[in-house]
Amino acid sequence: MRLVLVAAACCALLSIDARATVPLTSDATGHVVVPTYVNGKGPYDFILDTGADETGVYSWFAKSAGLPIGSTKLLSGATGDEQTTTAHVATLAVDGHTIKGVDVDVLSPRKDGATLAGVAGVDLMAHRLAVLDFQCKTFALLPVQSAGPDVVGSGATLIQAGSIRDGFQMTLPITINGATGTAVLDSGARNTYINRKFAEAAGLHPDSPSFHDAPVRGVSMTAVPARVGSMGTVKFAGITRHDAEVRVVDLPFLEGAGLAGVPAMDLGVDLLRGTRLTVDYSARRFWLSESSCASPKRTKP
C-alpha cells in the first residue's frame, strides 16, 4: 500500500535514543502491526508500512477517537485512486519516537472486517533507523548513527536504494528465474505482486491452468483481478526464495511510479519473512540479513 505525501516534512520531530524494541506481530489478515499511540492514548494496532509515504487511520478509528476532520484530497493506492479526507493528530508515537501536528489520511473501511486502527507510514520512520525483525517479531526506531553490525544483523547486505516517481518508496534490483527487474520495498503488502512484463521475462505463464484467479485490494479497497501461482526462484539483497507464491497483476500504482514499462514488482511480507530489515530513509539505503531468530540451515550429511 502507498499513500501520497502531502506535508510530512513540516512536522516537528521528537525522539529518544534508547535501544528499546516493541512487538512486531501479525494480525489475522497477515499484516505486520506495531503498537502505536495517538494523542497520548493507546496502544493501537497500526500496519507497519515501508510502502506508505504517510500515516493513515481507518474511518472507524477517526470517528471513535474524535479526530478533527480536515481537507479533501485524492488518495493514491496500489489498485487505484479515491477521494478522501484528512484528520488532524496532535501527536503520533511508536517506540518512544513522536511526531507532532500530523495530518493523517482517513482510509476506507476494510473489506475483510479487520479492526486495525491505521497504517504507520514513512513519516513516522523518517530521520531514524527503522529495524524490522520479522522472525524475532520486534520493531525499533533507533538513531541513524546506530547502524552497526549489532543492529543491522550479521552478514547483512547493504542496498543503496533506488527511488520511484512521486513517492518516497525504496527500490532494489531483484531476479526471478534469472530475469532482472525492479522491486518496491513494501512491508505493508501481505503478498508479493509482479507485473505481466516481469512474468513474461521470468518465463511465467499466468494464463495457464497452473495459475488461478484472485482479487487484489489496495488502500482504496478497489478490487483488481490477478492470477496467482508459483514464480520459481527469487533472489534479492543476498536472500533466496524458492517456489514462492506470486500475484501477477499490472497494478495502477506502477504507472505513477514510472515502472509500468519495465519488469517490476511489489516486494511484500511473504518474501521478507525470516529476515531482519533495517531502513535508513535519510540516506536512502537499507540492509537485509537473515534474522538471528531464524532456524539454522540444515546441511546434508
- CB distance 157 to 144 below 8 Å: no
47-73 confidence digits (pLDDT tens): 999 988 889 999 999 999 999 998 886
Contacts of 185 (CB under 8 A, 6+ apart): 50, 51, 161, 169, 170, 171, 172, 267, 277, 279, 286
200-250 confidence digits (pLDDT tens): 999 999 999 999 998 887 655 677 889 999 999 999 999 999 999 999 999
Kindly report the CATH number assigned to the domain that includes residue 260. 2.40.70.10
Q: What is the DSSP secondary structure assignment for residue 67, as one 8-state letter?
A: P
Domain shared by 206 and 248, yes or no:
yes
115-143 confidence digits (pLDDT tens): 899 999 999 999 999 999 999 999 999 99
3-class SS of residue 144: helix
Domain shared by 138 and 56, yes or no:
yes
Of the three residues 97, 124, 144, the one that is the final residue of a domain is: 144
1-45 confidence digits (pLDDT tens): 444 333 333 333 333 333 568 999 998 888 999 999 999 999 999
Of the three residues 144, 163, 181, the one that is the final residue of a domain is: 144
Residue 35 domain boundaries: 8-144
Compute the distance between CA of residue 220 and CA of residue 226 in angstroms, rounded to an integer.
16
- State the cell numbers at 5: 505525501
Domain shared by 133 and 159, yes or no:
no
Is the residue at 1 inside a domain?
Answer: no
Q: Where are the alpha helices (DSSP H) in 42-180?
A: 59-64, 122-125, 149-152
When divided into structural domains, the chain yields a total of 2
- CB distance 129 to 280 below 8 Å: yes
